């Protein structure tokens, strides 16, 4: 099976002005944007709450948490599903240092991927009219004569 070549993200991490509605939405309500992205990707809409709750829970238990788990896992999964260039290290950096830009980038990617191209298939049909088949009637033969014989 041939592998598809890897592509780039549809927009850069900091391309906020490419789609201002996404970034405005993310600026005013970041958790709402993150939940929308998770839902559109097919995951539970509450998944991004792990990024909000997990640092507090891990710190209370004494475990250091470096990368937000939801954005990191969703980003890595999206890269794998759509064949986007990158690495887990780049995903960790984007998730740790620019979490809301990462959510916005994923939102723009999903919007781009959900656009279905319009395909117009024009078939030209050639109609060929054939002449009606000629039927040649053969004359029917009369019934053979009956011979009356002597008994």
Reported pTM: 0.65
Contact 70, 34 (CB under 8 A): yes
pLDDT digits (tens, 9 = 90+) for 61-117: 777 667 788 899 999 999 999 999 999 999 989 988 888 888 889 988 998 888 765
CA 31 – CA 49 distance, rounded (Å): 8
Cα torsion 16, 6, 80, 114: sign: positive
pLDDT digits (tens, 9 = 90+) for 75-87: 999 999 999 999 9
**Tokens 């290290």 belong to which residue?**
89
């Amino acid at each position: 099976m041939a592998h598809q070549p890897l592509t780039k993200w549809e927009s850069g991490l900091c391309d906020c002005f490419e789609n201002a509605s996404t970034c405005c939405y993310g600026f005013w309500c970041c958790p709402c944007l993150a939940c929308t992205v998770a839902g559109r990707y097919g995951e539970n809409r509450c998944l991004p709450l792990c990024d909000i709750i997990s640092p507090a829970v891990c710190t209370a238990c004494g475990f250091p948490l470096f990368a937000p788990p939801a954005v990191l896992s969703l980003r890595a999964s999206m890269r794998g599903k759509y064949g986007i260039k990158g690495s887990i290290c780049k995903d960790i950096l984007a998730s740790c240092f620019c979490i809301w830009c990462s959510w916005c980038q994923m939102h723009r990617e999903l919007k781009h991927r959900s656009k279905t191209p319009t395909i117009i298939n024009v078939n030209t049909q050639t109609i060929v009219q054939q002449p009606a088949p000629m039927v040649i009637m053969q004359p029917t033969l009369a019934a053979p004569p009956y011979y009356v014989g002597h008994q």
